[in-house]
Chains A and B, each alone.
Chain A
Amino acid sequence: MLRRLITNRNLTRLLVDQKLTSRLLTPSVVSTKCLSSESVNEQNFSSSVDDREIRQFRSMSDSWWIENGEFEPLHMLNLLRVPLVRDVMVNYRNSLPPNVRQTMLAYSLEGEEQKIYSNQELDREPLLGLNIIDIGCGGGLFSEPLARLGAQVTAIDACKENIIAAQLRMQTQQDKLGVDSCKFYDRLRYIHCTVEDLTAVEENYDYFDAVVCSEVVEHVNNLPEFISNSAKLLKNQGFAFYTTINRTPDSYFSTILAAEYLLNLVPKGTHSWEKFVKPEELKDILTKNEVFCKFEMGMMYNPLTRKWCWSEYKRNNYALYAQKFKTKID
């Protein structure tokens, strides 16, 4: 199943090594065009996963996408994090030098001349032309809105089940609504791999305009390595976005005692408090990797209205974004 890719240019550059491509799942997302065709072992669901498992994945993929189901807090978090990424990235693109901007906004359809996205198109899809990687995408709750807003999104997750669930969501949507009605899926692809797999290939360095890690950092074992690897993927002046939980007594009380044991908002054992990250620590590691924090804000969840809001209170959940400035330019 080959799908027309809106901008081949963006995808052709991302080369992934043999080890990685053999792990790619449905060929529907990673078209052979974007990878050297010999290296892709096209695997079908039917060959790699049995029917019962597929059914299980399907119910899982459904549960990810039920808006008031178990992932409701994450759905609602989109109201904060998507506009944040949108506004920052639109400013970023506008601040680029005109010629860089021009190449970013150029696109060509198959067999046609190169065109530049018009302002009207940019109003509709503000993130057009930007490359974003969503590390730890889960069911794609964050990746899909970004792709819908026009960005070329590469979503990776180390958990195979999550990637299958996300791809199933994409397929069922396309089957139900028709491929033409959800063209933005062409801009979105899910890959089952880790950041380390991507950084193993030097070609991937300096490729993305933005790195997005939402509610991921608190699950990572070796944080410094993780951050330094994700920073490598980032272009100079690109942005890295993080949302995570602070390691404070407050967060122990709210996310572990209250959310997991008292209110049953999230399954028990989802979080371990020791792994939570203080913003200072995160900023320290980022600075070591030449990524400098620009903004830091607390986020509050109100379990009654089930809404998130920005706040000065950072002792629980917080978001920060940072910009990469290379000191050594080669």
Chain B
Amino acid sequence: MYILAEMNDVVHVKPWYFDQDLLNVIEDELNKKFANKIIYQLGLCVALFDIKEIGNSSVLPGDGSSHTKVSFRYVIFRPFIDEILVGKVKSSSKEGIYISLSFFDDIFVPFSNLQKPCRFDEKEQLFIWQYDTGDSVHDLFIDIGEEIRFRVVNEVFLDTTPTGPPKKNDAMTITSVVHNKDEIKCPFTIIGSINEPGLGLLTLSSRASFSSTKNLQNDNQSHNCKNNDYFDIVICGGGMVGNAMAAALGQENLFKNLKIALIDTESNKEKYQNPQIHHSRVCALSSTTIDLLKSIDSWDFIQQHRFGEVHNMHVWDGSTDAFISFKKEDGSNLAWIVENNLIIASLTKNLSNFKNVKVFYSNKIEDFKQNDQAIDIKLNDDSNITTKLLIGSDGGNSFIRKKANIDVLQWNYDQVAIVATMKLANKTQNFTAWQRFLSTGPIALLPAIWSIKKNMVNNLLELNDEEFVHKVNQAFVIEDFKNEFGSGIENLVQNGIDWLRNVIPKGSDYFTDRETEVRILPPKIASSESRASYPLSFLHSNNYVSKRLALIGDSIHKIHPLAGQGVNLGFGDVICLKQCLKDNLLSGNEIGSWNFLKDYESRRQRQAFPKMVGIDALNKLYTDYEYGNSLIKTPLVTARTVGLTLSNRVIPVKNFFVKQAMR
């Protein structure tokens, strides 16, 4: 903190001190001259330490004083870099906090060196350290007058010796010099830092120290980001798809040298308790998705907990009895039903194992700027990130998509989905997915979604559980808009197929038997819990990419849940984008180069768009319209009846549909 400086000076002793002891006078003079002054590149002078040598005194003509050459040592305040000091908080402003050592006031801790995460409270004009204990966030105020421990990280000397008038030719600098004069110049400023465990307010340090190890980890892992960090890939949005993207990239050997960041608006969801209540938001995962989850080691975790299997699927029409049933030839599952929060937990759990992935929890992108070479991102906590590729997976209402000015094709369905967890009446396990197309919209059991016209939804949500269960049971069996003509047509088609089967050689290879039993009824439901509803919409983004930006998941496509394909499309994006990035790296191009983004877009659009249109058309085909009368309905019903019956019995057609649903 203090150093001794050896100095030489000539001391003037005024004639009226000649009667006093020369040593005392010199001491007084030296203290008067140097004490509390700052010497450029040396430090703050405190007091005289000792006098080493006094030379001969001389009196110059025209001046009565005696001039004595003295060599002495002086105590100088000059903390060394990395020294830990204790001071008091003097004031704070947006830039940072000022600390006083009572004799020295120019100690400044800039915002970047404060404990993270922290924010500046405009009302109180104080900094608040948002200390995360794991389950809750504490606001710790850095009050004025509090004792604070800090580390010296830098010292700034400013030469304040007066300078001559500025020269004429640099007119530019005049204005800046004048401007500078308004501010008070500090000849010596110490820059401090409190961004370490053990530093900061002394009143908190007892608390901070026993959790310091955790704190340190936290700092390193999620919060401590330098003012301008660089990441090769930044993924925005911590939903299922965003997490899967981060895990997929983190796991691949090829990406091990890259720096990947995931920005999640929520806090860490790693802790997953197997709750008694089954969550009502579930996904039907296709086998491709399962393969992806297996490849990133997340499927084991899901298997340890719970999931439902779908072995076969029955779909039938509410107006006629036409139906179709699917089953995989080799007896494997058609789909797996998993709760959304379990999927997220299983993915998040893995992320911490990947050294190349850094997650910013409870953070979000405030703003970003795209340019040819990179994207500059500004985060919520004022830190900046530069990245070569931004991947947006922030949902249907994507901020990133809007900011990048990507247009979408979008409409709301006149339907609302109701999801509920059901308990079956008989104990037998149900491995079949049931879906029936009512005139108000399809109802399905297992990925238990009932989409229904908007004006009817309130009725259903207001019902008590028993009445709701009754309604659901009814919906699968009661006679909907019955169309005699449609049923007649169905019979005709069935007979036609029977005839064809007998006429065409090897007909049984192409057509299945006519199932005499008209249909198997779904099991009765006993009770239901956790009912919720959400509006349905269709969304397709015109572009999947923009400069240095790729979008995945719901931000580019949202569809009707009737086929349970929404999230599988999102996972499909992950697989496709990962493959494109691999190709990108292996051809030596830099991450996020335009031709690979374009490649991703064309590959993915070709896969996703037809599927979306198909599902949308299916919904439109089976939903009644307000203006519809039997004139329109009859051909519609006929068409779909013929279609459904044909696809159920003509084997190649059926296989095609199974394949589509599985992808």
Residue of chain A at shortest CB distance from B228: A178
Per-position 1/0 for A217-230, Cβ under 8 A of B: 00000000000000
Question: Does B586 sit at the interface, judged by CB under 8 A?
Answer: yes
**Within 8 Å CB of A65, what residues of B?**
372-373
Contacts of B594 in A (CB 8 A): 67-68
Q: Kindly identify which residue among B230, B232, B257, B587 contacts A78, using a CB–CB cutoff of 8 Å.
A: B587
- Asked if residues B230 and A177 are in contact (CB atoms below 8 Å), the reply is yes
Residues on B with beta carbons closer than 8 Å to the beta carbon of A126 = 586
Enumerate A132-158 residues with CB–CB distance to B below 8 Å.
144-149
* Chain B residue at smallest Cβ distance from A173: B373
Contacting pair A82 B254 (CB below 8 A): no
Q: Mark A301-318, 1 if CB is under 8 A from B, else 0.
A: 000000100000000000
A19 within 8 A of B: no
Instruction: Establish whether residues B386 and A176, one from each chain, have CB atoms under 8 Å apart when the complex forms.
Output: yes
How many A-B contacts are there with CB distance less than 8 Å? Answer: 60
Q: Which residues of A contact B257 (CB under 8 A)?
A: 124
By the criterion CB–CB under 8 Å, are B587 and A83 in contact? yes
> Smallest distance from the beta carbon of B255 to chain A beta carbons, Å?
8
In the assembled complex, 10 residue pairs joining A and B whose CB atoms fall closer than 8 Å, in A order, are: A79-B587, A123-B253, A124-B253, A124-B256, A126-B586, A146-B588, A176-B373, A176-B374, A177-B386, A181-B230
**Bound: A296/B573 CA distance, A:** 37
Chain B residues within 8 Å of A62, by CB? 372
The answer for the CA separation of A75 and B587 in the assembled complex, in Å, is: 12
* Residue of A76, A147, A176 most packed against chain B (CB within 10 A): A176
CA distance A76 to B587 in the complex (A): 11
Name B's A-contacting residues (CB within 8 A).
230, 232, 253-254, 256-257, 259, 372-374, 386, 388, 586-590, 593-595
Within the complex, which residue of B254, B374, B595 is in contact with A177, where a contact is CB–CB below 8 Å? B374
Verify if A66 is at the interface (C-beta below 8 Å from B): yes
- For window 57-100 of A, CB contacts with B under 8 Å fall at 62, 65-68, 75-76, 78-79, 82-83, 86
Question: Considering the chains assembled together, what is the distance between the CA atoms of A53 and B373 in angstroms?
Answer: 22
CA distance A82 to B586 in the complex (A): 9
Q: How far is the CA of A176 from the CA of B228 in the complex (A)?
A: 10
Task: Say whether, besides A75-B595, A177-B386, A145 and B587 are in contact (CB < 8 Å).
Answer: yes
Q: What 1/0 flags go to A172-185 for Cβ under 8 Å of B?
A: 01001110010000
**Which residues on A sit within 8 Å (CB–CB) of B374?**
176-177
Beyond A67-B594, A67-B595, A177-B374, whether A78 also contacts B586 by CB under 8 A is no
Q: How far is the CA of A149 from the CA of B595 in the complex (A)?
A: 18
Does A46 belong to the interface (CB within 8 Å)?
no
- Contact of A67 with B372 at beta-carbon distance under 8 Å, contacts A76-B595, A146-B588 already known: yes
Query: Are B372's CB and A66's CB within 8 A?
Result: yes
Q: B588 near A78 (CB under 8 angstroms)?
A: yes
Option from A79, A83, A148, A181 in Cβ contact (under 8 Å) with B595: A79
- CB-defined contacts of A67 to chain B, threshold 8 Å: 372, 593-595
In the assembled complex, A120 has its CB within 8 A of some CB on chain B: yes
Instruction: Check A178 against B587 for contact (C-beta < 8 Å).
Output: no
Closest B residue by C-beta to A66? B372
Within the complex, what minimum Cβ distance (angstroms) separates A76 from chain B?
Answer: 6
Q: Are A123 and B588 in contact (CB under 8 A)?
A: no
Bound Cα distance A68, B253 (Å): 30
Residues of A within 8 A of B259 (CB): 181
Apart from A67-B595, A86-B588, A124-B253, what 8 extra A-B contacts exist at CB < 8 Å?
A75-B593, A120-B253, A145-B588, A145-B589, A148-B589, A176-B230, A176-B373, A181-B230
Bound together, the chains give a CA A144 to CA B593 distance in angstroms of 13
Q: Which 4 pairs show the lowest CB-CB distances between chains A and B?
A: A145-B588, A149-B588, A67-B594, A148-B588
